Amino acid sequence: MPSPFDPNTQNHLTESKIVVALERIAEAFRVLLWNESKAYNLSTIQIQLLIFLAYHDQAKCSVSYLAREFNMTKPTISDSIKVLKEKKLVEKHDNPADSRSYTIKLTAKGHNIATHAAAFSTAIETPLSKLPDNQKQAMLSGLTSLIYDLNRNGIITVQRMCYTCSHYRATEGKHYCSLINAQLTTGQIRLDCPEHASVV
């Protein structure tokens, strides 16, 4: 069976080259996160949890939500939260919406580490910022379509993107958000929207 990892196949198909390019970028993320985790003596998932907690509202900071967000089991997330709590980087708070669960909040020390560690993305964002605008828009458009397909096929779970939002409408190739009552350009399509409402 032809594989994109076989150079003979890859060299004839643009999509195969893109698959290999995405794998290399995923590797860059892995290396950059690994460097951060070494610097703070944490695991890579613990660093990812801190960064997520720093930039998302409290309703998304429960073990169940984090397990779906990172495609991990609840016990795995709970173990990481336990370590972060022991290191005084997070605190547990009672969940007013559900007495059987709790939400997780960063301490000042945890927030400081999260915001510093999040800067690992600069290594990827800086070269992207140098691309012409039309290339950035084309990349964003292709990647959002790919993420949407992966989500629909059950490969990645939680998505807070326009294409999976009940406020999103597409008419004649134009994107529209009924929440803000405005058309969205390709560059305005969101991947992580705080107002996202899942389609039921």
Q: Which stretch binds ligand SF4 (CB under 6 A): 126-134, 135-143, 147-155, 187-195?
A: 187-195
**CA dist., res. 11 & res. 196, Å (int):** 39
Q: Is 182 in the site for ligand SF4 (CB under 6 A)?
A: no
Q: What are phi and psi of 34, to 5 degrees?
A: -60, -40
Using CB under 6 A, pick the residue from 49, 63, 104, 162 that binds ligand SF4.
Answer: 162
Using CB under 6 A, pick the residue from 52, 65, 120, 168 that binds ligand SF4.
Answer: 168
Using CB under 6 A, pick the residue from 64, 73, 179, 183 that binds ligand SF4.
Answer: 179
Q: Which stretch binds ligand SF4 (CB under 6 A): 42-50, 88-96, 150-158, 161-169?
A: 161-169
Looking at beta carbons only, is 52 or 168 nearer to ligand SF4? 168
* CB-CB neighbours of 190 under 10 Å: 17
Q: Is 92 in the site for ligand SF4 (CB under 6 A)?
A: no
Q: Is 190 in the site for ligand SF4 (CB under 6 A)?
A: yes
Q: Is 106 in the site for ligand SF4 (CB under 6 A)?
A: no
Angle between helices 44-55 and 14-40 (to 10 degrees): 90
Q: Is 165 in the site for ligand SF4 (CB under 6 A)?
A: yes
Looking at beta carbons only, is 96 or 173 nearer to ligand SF4? 173
- Note the residues at the interface with ligand SF4 (CB under 6 A): 162, 165, 167-168, 177, 179, 190, 193, 195-196
